[in-house]
Structure 1
């Protein structure tokens, strides 16, 4: 079988209850802030912050962090912080993406890279943001066919950042 082609994207990726998802948005749109809340308050696991790789293979989408950034999260105003091992995962099957600003360009970016997943508009600063994210995860769990959790990491690239 042909190895997957991984595409570098500007996003924050998390895994919650076995479902991987992307937070897409411009710089300072709230991606890392929302990721921190999901990790600390809800038990989500960070796949990658700011730079991730996505691929379509084995009938589904996958996301993984880039080295050496995969366990690092930007926490403003304190800088980049290293998370504990139980707060991270190297990769996940990718179920959906949330766009945190008005730009439709992020949806097109995924489609151009062959990543066909649902994309939802999302306000990470709403009081109910974590609850709404949990609903999206539940919906994804109901409809997603089982995919392998992990792919070979042999083609991993270092982040250009």
Structure 2
């Protein structure tokens, strides 16, 4: 659960800490943020909500508990994929030549997609009902859209 909140909290804190940086292209009037950051906020918010709802869903005694192997797979996707991706993306955004960060970003992206796919196809494909699948879609597609918007901001 903690890993779920690392990227949004860190993103907000770093935006505040580096608000004077020219790399962020922040404006002094509304909208203060580039449109890509607004998409990151909305899509990332949907993803975080989906992850929190899924966590809460599994805390209910009426719903199935997550096996250790599944928890480990999800932690690997978040901890070894999502957190390093965040660090790489922030580094690329703040660097004068972000293209130097492109290969490591793509390597971590491939790992993350494989880890998420493993989790979905091994643990969730047959077992999850409609509600839990909706939470997973919120998490996966929300994060995917947020990442694409951030990628667009950095590289386009």
Structure whose residues are more often helix by fraction: 2
Q: Answer whether TM exceeds 0.5 for this pair.
A: no
Q: Specify which structure has the bigger relative contact order, considering alpha-carbon pairs within 8 angstroms and separated by 6 or more residues.
A: 2
Structure whose residues are more often strand by fraction: 1
Greater Cα radius of gyration, structure 1 or 2 = 2
Q: TM-score, normalised by structure 2?
A: 0.30
